[in-house]
Amino acid sequence: MKESTFSIESVSKEFNRRVIFEDISFSLSRGESLAVTGRNGSGKSTLAKILCGLLTPTKGKISLCMNEKEIPAEDIHRHIGLVSPYITMYDEFSGIENLLVFAHIRNLGSAADGEPERLLRQFGINERRNDEVRTYSSGMKQRLKYAAAMLHRPEILILDEPTANLDEEGAATVRKLMRTQTGVGILIIATNDAKDLKFAEHNIDLNKVKAVALKSGGVLP
């Protein structure tokens, strides 16, 4: 099993000279989990995008070490799975076609054999696999996002509002996934949902914390 350490050091973000957050630092190893909380507009989604490489921080560094080898910054995203409300799927494609496209984009090759079908079953949408995504409900699209995020079995799973748009059955499936992820990799969730927060060992409240230093196995103040 891969040993991984995902760290951010003194990360800050500004938009139009407005400070969203500043000097956030943490380090998480395999088996650890972190929740990012805060009221709307505090920067939860912005931080998630930075961690995934979708946004560049105003300052600070993001690093990933695997088996004591540092991964190049441009390759970190290959080890991350992201689920978020702002991700969109290809509406004109079917569910299975979406997953095959993402498998191709990630250059998974034979590593993805059987995975799209298995994931569609896991997230309860296999019976609609051949239907265009434009016909899916918001909850079904959310389930498909999870299937896409897990195609490459990411070491780091980042979930922005993890149970948004899901019914109780879907939420239960996602929480089972979160529990599993903490056993095999690193889990980061951005949420204020008390039920989801139970799956996070550590917490950063963007409304309260200006500078956070989180050591592996440590506890945030």
Distances (CA, A) of 199 to 26, 81, 142, 145, 176: 18, 17, 19, 20, 10
pLDDT over 80 (residue 76): yes
- Residue 221's pLDDT is what? 36
Tell me the pLDDT band of 212, cut-offs 50, 70 and 90.
very low
In a domain, 220, yes or no: no
Structural domain boundaries, residue 152: 4-205
- Share the mean pLDDT of the chain: 91
Tell me the pLDDT band of 54, cut-offs 50, 70 and 90.
very high
- What count of other Cβ atoms lies within 10 Å of the Cβ of residue 130? 10
In a domain, 201, yes or no: yes
- Residue 68's pLDDT is what? 86
In a domain, 83, yes or no: yes
pLDDT in tens, 163-194: 999 999 999 999 999 999 999 999 999 999 99
Euclidean distance between CA atoms 126 and 181, whole angstroms: 22
Q: How many domains does the chain have?
A: 1
pLDDT over 90 (residue 220): no
What percent of the chain clears pLDDT 70, i.e. is strictly above it?
Answer: 92
Query: 158, 180, 153, 33: which is closest to 83 by C-alpha?
Result: 158
Tell me the pLDDT band of 138, cut-offs 50, 70 and 90.
very high
Token couple for 67: 């088996």
Instruction: Average the pLDDT over each of 53-62, 64-73, 154-163, 206-215 and give the range with the smallest value.
Output: 206-215
In a domain, 62, yes or no: yes
The CATH number for 90's domain is 3.40.50.300
In a domain, 29, yes or no: yes
Contact 189, 35 (CB under 8 A): yes
In a domain, 45, yes or no: yes
Euclidean distance between CA atoms 55 and 44, whole angstroms: 13
